Amino acid sequence: MTDAVTTTRDYSKTLFLPVTDFPMRAGLPQKEPDILAHWATIDLYGRLRQASQGRAKFVLHDGPPYANGHIHIGHALNKVLKDLVTRSQQMLGFDSNYVPGWDCHGLPIEWKIEEENYRKKGKSKPDLSDPSAMIAFRQECRAYAQHWLSVQREEFKRLGVVGDWDHPYTTMSFPAEAQIAREIMKFAANGTLYRGSKPVMWSVVERTALA
């Protein structure tokens, strides 16, 4: 008696599938950094600006995030939507320029400095009525904001957002601060700068006004 030979049929050969060089698995964790590196190598942003010279401008200035930590899902949604807007406007025929920016002032950054440089180390908050202590504290805040600006910039780039990352605007740049001072002096010069009364939210913990 002869044993029956069981054969397994390769049913994949019976399917009529398109032939493609694309891999079955996208491999995005490896592929996406390569795409971003290629964009940087060919200067994609510069090429877009060059190709759209003379077109009507569509400029998107970023409503700036605080430079005080890693980005989160809210940042990602914000940046991806803005990228969708600028790319679509570029394809519609505009010179669509995205200028990213950062907010480098205010309580969120001061809070982080106090938490990391003072409370965690058991140190007292500086007496900001002392001009030298105030200047030193501001320098700490500036260095902290610059650090997280650089970190966030790379994280935003990783999302594939195309923008003028080499020339962002920051509220702590000295020209920006000087311009703010000039604008305030215009109000003072024309008599529209005045002292009045209004409610101000106050942080009991920080002993400072809330933004």
Does some domain include residue 101? yes
Strand ranges in the chain using DSSP code E only, listed in sequence order: 57-61, 95-99, 101-102, 169-170, 202-203, 208-209
pLDDT digits (tens, 9 = 90+) for 39-55: 999 999 999 999 999 99
Domain that holds residue 108: 30-162
- For residue 211, being part of any structural domain is answered with no
Banded pLDDT at 5 (limits 50, 70, 90): low
Indicate which CATH number applies to the domain containing 41: 3.40.50.620
Helices (H), 159-173: none
**Domain assignment present for 110:** yes
Number of domains in the chain: 1
Tell me whether residue 61 is in a domain: yes
pLDDT in tens, 132-186: 999 999 999 999 999 999 999 999 999 999 999 999 999 999 999 999 999 999 9
Q: Summarize the confidence of residues 4-23 as an average pLDDT.
A: 77
pLDDT confidence of residue 211: 65
